[in-house]
Structure formats: C-alpha cells, structure tokens
Structure 1
Amino acid sequence: MGSFIVKNVFIIGSKGIPANYGGFETFVDNLVTRRINKNIKYHIACMTFDKEVKHYDYNGANCQEISIPNIGGAKAILYDLKSLKWALKTIKKNKLSNGIIYILACRVGPFLHQYITRFHRYGFKVWVNPDGHEWKRAKWSKPVRKYWKFSERLMVKNADFLICDSKTIEKYIAKEYRKYKPETTFIAYGADITASGLLKNDDKVRNWYENFNITLDEYFLIVGRFVPENNFETMIREFMSSNVRNDLVIVTNIEKNKFYEELRQKTRFDTDPRIKFVGTVYDQQLLKFIREHALAYIHGHSVGGTNPSLLEALASTKINLLYNIGFNREVAQNSSFYWDKAKGSLSKTITRTTSLAKNDKKRYDQLSENQVMKYYSWEKIVGDYEMIITGENI
C-alpha cells in the first residue's frame, strides 16, 4: 500500500473552536467537524485571556489556547503574532513539513515577511483570507484605518496565496494590488440549510415572542452588529416613513453603544412602537426559527465579503430585502429585492413586500434556498477547501 503524506494546516486568526459566535469561528468549526479527507491535520490557535492555557483535541483537530492580555483593539494583532510563533515552534518541535499556514484577515502585514521566510524553510506555504474591507469600518479611528489598509497591502504582497470568500473581494485584490501579481482563488463562506427543528408551541419560542409582543410571520427582521456601515440609519428611517402595520424586529447588541444613542436622538425611533430592539439571541436554533418566521429580512451590510447573516437569511427567511452592493448581489442574485440609500427606495420595497401574493412569496423563498444549496452549503465549501489543500496546483 502507498503511504499518504499528511497535510498539516495551521489556522491563525479565529477566536477558536468550538464556535460560539462569529463568522471565522463558524467557518473553522465546519472545516474541522465536516472533514472528509483524513490526510489533512488541522492545528487551530484559540484565544484566551486566562494565564493557564489548555491544549485539546476537537474532532481530530489539534487546538492550542494562546493567552493574551485584554488590551483593546491591538489584542487581535498580538494574538495573531503569538499564534504564528506557536505554529513555528510546533513545526520545529514535531519536524513537520509539507503544510500550510492559513491566516484569517489582514492584521499582521508589517510583520509577515519575517515569518514567511521561516515557514518556507520548513516547506510551509502561507495563505491569507483577506476578509472584507476592514479599513472602511467606521468604528476605527483614521490612524487605525490607515494601519488596516497598509497591513492589507503587505499581506497581499507577501502571501503565497489568497483565498477570497467573495468574487467582489477577489476582483478588488487583483485590481488594487496588480503590481504584486497576487495568486488568488474564490471559495465562499457556507451556510447551514437545515431547518431549526423548533415548533411554535415550544416553551422557549412562545416565551420569546410573548416577551416582545411579536406576531409570528408578520414582522420584518434585521440581524447584525449595530454599526454605521450596516446602514441602520437608512433602514430605521425608511421603515418609520412606511405606513405598514408590521413590527421591525432588530436582533443586535446595543449595550454601551454610542451609535445607538446618536441614532435614537437623530431618528426618534423610540417614539415608533413598531420598532423593537430585542437584544442578541445566542441560541442558534431559536435564531433560526426567528428567521424562518419573519415576513422579510432587511440586510444593510455594506462592508465585507460573503456575509454569514445574509446566507442564513437566504437559507431561512422567505423574502429578503438587500442593500444594493456588489457583495450582496453576487450572493443572492435574482432571489431577492434590492434597495439603495435614495429616499423612498427601501420604504417602497417594504410596502411592496406586504402585498406580495402567496405564490410570489413561495417563489422567492424557493429561489433563495436554491441559491444557498447550490453555491453555499457547508458540504460544498468544505469540499472546495479540501481539494485546494491537498491539490498540487498551488
């Protein structure tokens, strides 16, 4: 029998697995738990603020906690650097070769070159997932945004290979950094297309809907981080200017959020009883049920690649109203309605949704579900990754 060479893949930049929340964490969890090719060995860096670190096995993956101080925004950079050191140490100690260092997001550009030469010495390639346009996010100050852009440029320049989870991002990388001739490919983010499995009369379902006085199948839904680039101001203003009787249910974390207070003063959304901020929902099955029983989902994300909450909505929610931008159109195509920031654009779309015929609702529901099943199922995404990890074409 021929012997197989194990491909060692170190994943740097996710907070760790098992995943509780977050796109990269869910991605890594699925990559590990749905692994089919037994000749791939994953090594996962996991973030902790504890001094005592744990080393454990999770579905065959070698997981190592990396301890860092909780020092605000810079902690992510420190975490990535410490994770790279751990990967290098593990490779040396176990005499590993023929592998990949896969870095999620572009945080450590200024430091990458010195690591790449060392990893190359051991036969390891360095791959990067550039994520979305982090340097566009309004939460960062100008100097921080400048750093993100600078870091992105150096990551693209020095990486051996880039995997973009959006064709729009792949096009941007090819155009913006063409002088570096970056080698790229596109592999999307995935979605879970199974139903929630919960029933209307389940206690946790009944309690949640009664608690917020929400009527099943009659509400508009928004799920996402409460940040300016997700177009909350436009979505709330437009909903308020519509005369629909339905509620707007917003699943987001608004604790200690300055933007929430600014928006409340600007729009006076607190005077409109239809607008209901319900906090976060960490129970994934309940969240899926809430998506399934919305009349429509409104998606305002304007920064980033293939957005996880958009995929979940396409898989679960009957009608989807999406901000008209390349990322969102690429994912949903003709399965959704689109709106822009022009006054009346979204409010008209909201009103139109309430008068859709039953057959039209059914058709859009089917179109969006098919879109996810065809292009974004986790089975497909994991299969694409395994082919590229084990392939000799890189």
Structure 2
Amino acid sequence: MDLNKQHIFIIGSKGIPAKYGGFETFVEHLTKSKKDQSIQYHVSCLADNRQVYTHNESRCFNISVPNIGPAKAVLYDVLSLKECYEFISKNNIHDAIIYILACRIGPFLGFYKRKLEKFNTQIFVNPDGHEWKRSKWNAFIRRYWKFSESIMVKKADLLICDSIGIQNYITEEYKKYRPQTTYIAYGADTVKSTLNSKDSTFINWMDKNKVREKDYYLVVGRFVPENNYELMIREFMRSNTRKDFVIISNVENNTFYKDLLQKTHFEQDKRIKFVGTVYDGELLKKIREEAFGYFHGHEVGGTNPSLLEAMASTQLNLLLDVVFNREVGLDGAVYFEKTQGSLAKLIAVCDGMDEETIKQYQELAVDRIQNAYTWNLIIQKYEAVFKGMSQQYVNDIALYPAQGVVKA
C-alpha cells in the first residue's frame, strides 16, 4: 500500500467493468483514462461475493447485498462506506477522499464521517438529479430521498454537480448549509461507430425492424413516465410525418407501457416501433448516427448521458425545453414544450429542413460536445478537484468555462 498516493474511494455505482448505466460508464472512463499516476482509485462493486480484484489499475472490492427491494441500493452504499472506513483504518490512510454517487445514505453518513475524522478523510458527493421527483417511487420513498439529500448536502465537504442547473438548485435549496459545490459535467465522445452502412450487424438490425437510414426518429432510454414518453408518442401520432419513431427500451413486464398502450392505442400507428434493447455499443452508436432525428424528453435533473451521446452522434436533436436540456444543447438543438401540438409542429418543421440547415445543427451539436463534454476534459477536471486545485484552476481547464444556464 503506497501511502504517498492520493487515495480516492468511489461508492454508489454498480462497479466496473461497466455493464450498466451512467455512473458505471463514468467510473470506467475515470479509471481507464487516468492521467495523474499519483491517484489510486478504490471502487465499490455490487456482486454476490466479497472478492477483491484489479481493473484499470484500480482496486475493486465487491460488496454482496441481499435482494431486499428498493432498500437494496441504500444497504449497498452503507456497506460500501463501512468497507471504506475499515480499509482506511486498517491501513492508516490519511487525507483520502470518499466520493459518493447519489444521495441515498444521508441518515447513515454522519456516523461514519465522525469515525473518519481522525484520518482527515473528506466526503465528496455527486447529488445526481432530482431523484425524489421520480414517479417510480412511492410517496414514502420520495420523502426519504429528499430527507437523505438534505443530510448529505449538509455533511459533504464538497458536492460535485454534473449540471449547472443542479448546482444552482443545491446552492439555493440548501443555502442555510452554505454547501461547497463545483460543476463537472458528464462525458461523451464524438468518435464514429466502427460499423459502416454495409456491415451485416447493422443491416440485419435495420431489416429486422423494417427501418431505413435517415428515415426514423429515435429515442433511447428507460421507459418511465418522467421521460415523457406519453407526450412524445401522442405528439408523434398527431404529426403527419412519414418517418418512423424507433424506441429502444426494455418494456417487458413494464406496467407504464401497458397503461400507455391502453390510453393511446399506439399499436395502431405502424410508424411507432418498439424494438427492444441494444447492448452492442457500436451498433447503438451506428443506429444513432443513421437516425434522422433524436427525441429527448427527460426532465428530471442533471446532465443526461443519453442526451450527450445523441448530440455527439445524431444529426438533429429535438429536446424538451427544460433548463437541464437547454444547458447542454444550446444552439445545437431544437426545442419543444409540453403543450399540446408543440412537438408535432416541430416534427413538421424538422421534416421540412434542407440539408444545409440540418448540417449546421449537427456541427453545432458536435462542437458543443467537443468543447465542453469530452471525457478527456472531464477527467482532467476531476483529477484537479481530487488533488485540491482551486475552483478557478478547474474552470480554466475548459475551452469554454461554464457561463450559467441559457434561458429559453
């Protein structure tokens, strides 16, 4: 154990190698592309055993958690924090940082924070989005999330927000705690898919789902109400476009899907195509590249990974006009409201755009990603924060430092 290194413990993701969503992909990139060799990462991983292994030169420690429903994620984080404390104590590690992804364990944080004080351990927290607003949670769980968030904001030494909108929310909502915050976005890349239009993997997927290049609108993401699928489906059905609406999502045994089917009867519109999930990353990137346009209806907080990937890959992006989406898209996207007819009209406008206009939107979108959201930039910022650099130093890493939220 090299005690001279800066030890960073990351808990709250399901672990690496990444097999799941946004936090896992973030940790994968952060560790894989590490630039400062004086940093040593320790990553908590959800598993059915207690093995310890090395991945991306990081020490990965498995945490086994029984399946106890929604509380499983809370117990996982608590056990991960307990393991971090025991490892720090056993190895007498001073000045470490524990970076907690999401605000699940507020009621338990104070206990371990007090125990870690003698090692001068700092607690950093990523507050994620407005988890307490998500419709999948019942009223009790939503109250718990909000309560937990308030405690974690109060106890954290630093909150790393991946959205300026979330940073503004934290500083205003909890100003009585005078929280220390910084803004570091999520990342994306603008590298083209390794597949071409004649690749059999891509052709077979297109043929199977009866879609054609540049002849479909696309959405990729969890099929949940707060992502406004009902709005997008109703508006698409209201539109006169001849293009398809391709939805990549897992809707098997999804009660929201069944309820929406009964309410809208979208199965009668042959343009709307639920095509299941796509786990092949290169194929998914190619599908994004060949879409005519991408719909993004997310409205619950943070810099959304699927939006960054669409901005990097898809020529035309149609975004729900909320502060988090406009912060990312700026002039590289077009926007719709939740009012009836707004998206349908925007679809008609997009269908009528000439190639030059579409090309301009695509160039602006790619420039936006390259200037503010590349993984190289994000990792530099994180390492600067972990090494205790000033806020000004972190901001100066960006080609275009964050300037606040652009209003509609």
Which TM-score band applies after superposition, normalised by the shorter structure?
A: over 0.9
> Which residues of structure 1 form unaligned runs of 5+?
none
Q: Is residue 279 of structure 2 the alignment partner of residue 282 of structure 1?
A: yes
Number of aligned pairs? 390
1:109-124 matches, cutoff 5 A: 109-124=106-121
Measured after TM superposition, the shift of residue 392 of structure 1 is 4.9
The SS at the match of 1:18 is coil
Matched, 1:70 2:67: yes
* Cα distance in 2, alignment partners of residues 181 and 65 from structure 1: 35
The reply on whether 1:363 has 2:336 as its aligned counterpart is no
In 1, are the aligned partners of 2:165 and 2:301 still within 8 Å (CA)? no
Q: Is the 8 A contact 2:235 2:341 kept in 1?
A: yes
How far is 1:119 from its partner?
1.6
1:94 alignment counterpart: 91
What is the distance in 1 between the residues matched to 2:180 and 2:76?
26
Normalising by structure 2, we get a TM-score of: 0.94
The DSSP-based 3-state class of the residue aligned with 2:218 is strand
Question: Which of 58, 71, 79 is the matching residue for 1:61?
Answer: 58
Read off the aligned partner of 1:27 and give its amino acid letter. F
1:146 is matched with 143
Letter in 2 for 1:44: V
Distance 1:254 1:121 in 2: 49
Measure, in 2, the Cα distance between the counterparts of 1:252 and 1:342. Answer: 25
CA deviation after TM superposition for structure 1 residue 200, in Å? 1.2
Residue type of the alignment partner of 2:23: F
SS of the residue 1:72 aligns to: coil
Residue 173 of structure 1 corresponds to which residue in structure 2? Answer: 170
Q: Distance in 2 between matches of 1:99 and 1:106?
A: 20
Q: Which residue of 2 aligns with 1:21?
A: 20
Task: State the match for 1:82 in structure 2.
Answer: 79
The 8 Å contact of residues 163 and 187 in structure 1, kept in 2 or not, is answered as: yes
- Contact 1:11–1:101, Cα closer than 8 Å, also in 2: yes
Q: TM-score, normalised by structure 1?
A: 0.97
Runs in 1 of length 4+ with deviation above 4 angstroms? none
What is the distance in 1 between the residues matched to 2:65 and 2:131?
Answer: 22
| Other-structure match for 2:11 | 12
Would you say 1:40 and 2:39 are equivalent positions?
yes
Partner residue in 2 for 1:296: 293
Residue 21 of structure 1: how far off its partner (Å): 2.3
Cα deviation, 1:238-287, whole Å, max 9, x if unaligned, reads 00000111000000010110000100011110000000000111111100
Match of 1:202 among 183, 193, 199: 199
Q: Distance in 1 between matches of 2:253 and 2:165?
A: 33
SS of residue in 2 equivalent to 1:62: strand
2:293·2:314 contact (CA, 8 Å) conserved in 1? yes
Is contact 1:4–1:39 with CA below 8 Å preserved after alignment? no
SS of 1:282 mapped into structure 2: coil
User: Which residue is equivalent to 1:106?
Assistant: 103
The aligned residue for residue 317 of structure 1 is 314
Q: Which residue of 2 aligns with 1:332?
A: 329
C-alpha displacement of 1:4: 9.6
Moved more, 84-93 or 128-137: 84-93
1:353-392 maps to which residues of 2 (within 5 A)? 353-392=350-389
Q: Is 2:216 the partner of 1:219?
A: yes
Extract unaligned runs of 5+ from structure 2.
392-408
- 8 Å Cα contact 2:103-2:126 kept in structure 1: yes
Does the 8 A contact of 2:157 with 2:180 survive in 1? yes
Name the SS of the counterpart of 1:298 in structure 2: strand
Identity, % of aligned positions: 52
